[in-house]
């Protein structure tokens, strides 16, 4: 297979296993490119990309911009906070105005679930979802699986536990779809109040005891509690959460085995994970960030090849 089955990247649930394999194969090539002294290829000199961020971001925003520049695309950046959105301009008007300046592709982070899907139905551009509310964060899940494959050789058959605030996490949902598609076993672990009802219907196991979950897994993906998305009444106190769900050195040493530790960032050090664990050799948190550039280059390159000029 040499092309993606989709014209947009709106969520992992729209991808096939073959799409993921193609993205990873293409990312392997771009990973070599970005490790060379000249980290660029001229592949997308004819493409212009707008990065629209309606929510805060560090990793995703910079990673997309670097990926686009490494592919030699022209890049414009849009931050809602300093735009005419503040004067009441709609999303569709905003994007159509940007597209009229001959922009081909839109990367968008938005607080509303489904914002990318909505946009793809109303504008003529290739859309990449860079995180839409608590719905999906597809490039995060792709770089997470790519990093597991890089560290463990395979995703298929691996046991992955996603720990934390599953209810409000787009990273969790996209990871569940991506990992299941590739044949991994997946469990979620967290306080009952932060686990979605019927999560088992996605084919994942549920565990509320962190030690049991860690004893089972090969990989632990630790998530931040997303206070910005919740009513405070959902939540045990931060202290209670840390007592029950924090990955710390004592917990790791009690396992008598080594596990791979992941975190999508930003890390709330001392809450879901302690610094000594986040910075340990078997934590691949910065590898995830580094791989994000190559994986996003692959996604952009493959979607750009489907644009008819």
Residue numbers belonging to the annotated binding site for carbamoyl phosphate: 59-60, 109, 137, 140, 265-266
Which residue in the set 120, 126, 129, 140 belongs to the binding site for ligand CP (CB under 6 A)?
140
Question: Measured from the CB of residue 63, what is the shortest distance to ligand CP in angstroms?
Answer: 8
Binding mask 81-120 for ligand CP (x = CB under 6 A): ----------------------------------------
| Pick 267 or 307: Cβ nearer ligand CP | 267
Integer Cα distance of 177 and 12 in angstroms: 6
Which stretch in 54-62, 91-99, 116-124, 185-193 sits in contact with ligand CP by CB under 6 A?
Answer: 54-62
Kindly state whether residue 145 participates in binding ligand CP, applying the rule CB under 6 A.
no
User: CA torsion 194→196→200→206, rounded to 10°?
Assistant: 0
Q: What tokens appear for 81 in the block? A: 């906070």
Which residue in the set 11, 164, 191, 264 belongs to the binding site for ligand CP (CB under 6 A)?
264
Report which residue's Cβ sits closest to ligand CP. 60
Kindly state whether residue 227 participates in binding ligand CP, applying the rule CB under 6 A.
no
Question: Measured from the CB of residue 131, what is the shortest distance to ligand CP in angstroms?
Answer: 6
Nearest CA among 68, 208, 57, 35 for reference residue 140: 57
Integer Cα distance of 60 and 153 in angstroms: 25
Integer Cα distance of 187 and 108 in angstroms: 29
| Pick 129 or 140: Cβ nearer ligand CP | 140
Which stretch in 35-43, 55-63, 204-212, 296-304 sits in contact with ligand CP by CB under 6 A?
Answer: 55-63
Integer Cα distance of 246 and 200 in angstroms: 23
Which stretch in 33-41, 56-64, 172-180, 228-236 sits in contact with ligand CP by CB under 6 A?
Answer: 56-64
Which residue in the set 7, 35, 58, 209 belongs to the binding site for ligand CP (CB under 6 A)?
58
Which stretch in 44-52, 75-83, 199-207, 258-266 sits in contact with ligand CP by CB under 6 A?
Answer: 258-266
The neighbouring-strand residues paired with 52 are 78, 108
The DSSP code for 270 is T
Integer Cα distance of 141 and 14 in angstroms: 13
For residue 143, give Cα distances in angstroms to 50, 171, 227, 230, 261: 21, 11, 24, 26, 14
For residue 246, give Cα distances in angstroms to 25, 176, 189, 230, 243: 35, 21, 11, 20, 6
| Pick 125 or 171: Cβ nearer ligand CP | 171
Q: Applying CB under 6 A, which residues contact ligand CP? A: 57-61, 131, 140, 264-266
């Amino acid at each position: 297979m040499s092309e993606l089955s989709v014209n947009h990247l709106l969520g992992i649930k729209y991808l096939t296993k073959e799409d993921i394999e193609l993205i990873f194969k293409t990312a392997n090539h771009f990973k070599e490119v970005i490790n060379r002294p000249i980290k660029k290829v001229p592949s997308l000199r004819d493409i212009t990309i707008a990065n629209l961020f309606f929510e805060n971001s560090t990793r995703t925003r910079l990673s997309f911009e670097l990926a686009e520049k490494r592919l030699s695309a022209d890049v414009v950046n849009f931050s809602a906070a300093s735009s005419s959105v503040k004067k009441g301009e709609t999303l569709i008007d905003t994007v159509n105005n940007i597209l009229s300046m001959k922009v081909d592709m839109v990367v968008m982070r938005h607080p509303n679930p489904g914002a990318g899907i909505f946009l793809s139905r109303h504008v003529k551009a290739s859309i990449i979802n860079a995180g839409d509310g608590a719905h999906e964060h597809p490039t995060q899940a792709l770089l997470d699986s790519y990093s597991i494959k890089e560290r463990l050789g395979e995703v298929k058959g691996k046991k992955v536990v996603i720990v934390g605030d599953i209810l409000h996490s787009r990273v969790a949902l996209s990871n569940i779809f991506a990992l299941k598609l590739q044949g991994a076993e997946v469990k979620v672990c967290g306080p009952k109040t932060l686990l979605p009802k019927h999560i088992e219907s996605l084919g994942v196991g549920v565990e509320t005891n962190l030690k049991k979950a860690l004893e089972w897994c090969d990989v632990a993906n630790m998530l931040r509690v997303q206070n910005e998305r919740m009513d405070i009444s959902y939540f045990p106190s931060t202290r209670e959460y840390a007592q029950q769900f924090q990955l710390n050195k004592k917990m790791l040493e009690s396992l008598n085995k080594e596990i791979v530790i992941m975190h999508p960032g930003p890390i709330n050090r001392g809450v879901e994970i302690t610094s000594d664990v986040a910075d340990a050799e078997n934590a691949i948190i910065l590898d995830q960030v580094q791989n994000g550039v190559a994986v996003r280059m692959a996604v952009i390159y493959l979607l750009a090849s489907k644009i008819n000029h």
